[in-house]
Amino acid sequence: MHNRPIGSRRAVRYAGRVRLAVVLLAISLAGAAGAAAPDGARLYADACASCHGADGRGAPAGSGLTVPLPDFTDCNVATAETTANWAGLVRGGGPFLGMSPEMPAFAGVLDEDEIAAVLAHVRGFCRDPRWPIGDLNYRRPVFMDKAFPEDEVVAFFEADTARHERAYAGQISIEKRIGPRGQLELVLPGEVVDVDGAATVVGGGDLAVAYKHVLAAGVPPRTIVSAALEVSAPTGNRRHGVGSGTTVVTPQLLSGHAIGPLDVQALVEANLPADPDRADRAMRYRVAVQLPLGPYRRSVAPGVELEQSHALASDVHAATLLGPALYLPLSRRGHVALGVAGQVPVAGRSPFDWRLGAFLLWDWADGPFWAW
């Protein structure tokens, strides 16, 4: 058409309509393309593969990078981090999580849907669907464990006081993830008992070993359920009040849930001593409710912790404990954190007047302790 002369107004009007139709069609096609879901594989190839490798295994030869990069085909690497942390890393670059500035920032280059598509593709390098993702790794409560399997070291301290006695306990827990859903834990305790009118006793408590296994995990609905079994040996001195004097088996059921803006965790456990005359057979029910003040692992989370316990002997009354708690991350990536909580009896018997607990946590698989 454009190679022939236009000899009339009608032809000119017709040509104008054709051009307008072509423009409208192009706009329509562009809008349809923009509405399509982002292609995570293509975005990864364009924005990430030059550093992280087309296969996700790390920097290819000649990349010039000076820091080691993660292997995304390692399921522990691909799944352990939260989606929010990874998205913040993509937006803000390495310094956002206290990591190398060689990781560039893509804010303004990739929109939120494209970032989500890239992260889904990266997680897809893990071919084993049994690994729960880091979004289910809820913040550790103070007076109870969590359902997610971890590579952590936790130093815990507890103090409680009654009318004629003060007791202080500390322990180091070393946790090692085993496979996609398991965790092995070693607990090294120590105790101090100060009774009015008697000598203060200091000694090691009962050593314990525990295994935890994830039974179910899903996003949505952001729920994780695990079972655990702990066995403590009578390594403490029961006569001095720093040990139970018998082997104790403790089966546990743990769970974590996201309910609106709240993270809710629960634990049910039974203490089953080999010799019931030396230690009480008892049930404990614990619930922790936290309100994270942001989407990242470094976000502070105030909360409350509730404990209900009762011995399995009919002549012993139950005790209900309640108090506030605070989870305070100390590093930008959230892998070093402090937790503190207090509890007082609010119903039933009073095993003490008040109790204070605190821990220092280091997720050693996520980076060195000093990488704040």
Q: What is the pLDDT of residues 14-70, one digit of tens each?
A: 344 434 443 443 444 445 445 577 899 999 999 899 889 999 998 776 667 888 889
The pLDDT score that the predictor gives to residue 19 is 46
Which pLDDT score, from 0 to 100, does residue 316 have? 62
Q: Residue 159: which residues within 8 A CB-CB, separation 6 or more?
A: 166, 167, 168, 169, 355, 356, 357
**Could you give the residue range(s) of every CATH 1.10.760.10 domain in the chain?**
40-123
Predicted confidence at residue 197, as pLDDT, reads 56
Contacting residues for 277 by C-beta, under 8 A, at least 6 apart: none
Helix locations, 168-308, DSSP H: none
Name residue, tokens 């708690």.
325
**244, 221 contact by CB (below 8 A):** no
The DSSP call for residue 277 is T
Smallest CA-to-CA distance from 74 within 131, 34, 114, 147 is with 131
Tokens 């314990």 label which residue? 208
Distances (CA, A) of 282 to 167, 211, 254: 20, 20, 17
The residues of the chain that CATH labels 2.40.160.40 are: 134-366
Ranges of residues in the chain with a pLDDT under 70 are 1-35, 61-63, 195-199, 201, 240-241, 314-317
Type and span of the H or E element at 33? helix 9-35
Tell me, what's the pLDDT at 199?
60
What pLDDT is attached to residue 328?
Answer: 98
- DSSP H or E stretch at residue 9: helix 9-35
pLDDT digits (tens, 9 = 90+) for 284-330: 999 999 999 999 999 999 999 999 998 887 666 689 999 999 999 99
CATH no., domain 40-123: 1.10.760.10
Superfamily of domain 134-366: monomeric porin ompg (2.40.160.40)
pTM: 0.84
With CA atoms as reference, report the closest residue to 162 among 353, 350, 342. 353
In a 13 Å sphere around the CA of 7, the CA atoms on its Cβ side amount to 1
Tokens representing 247?
């082997």
Q: How many residues does the chain have?
A: 372
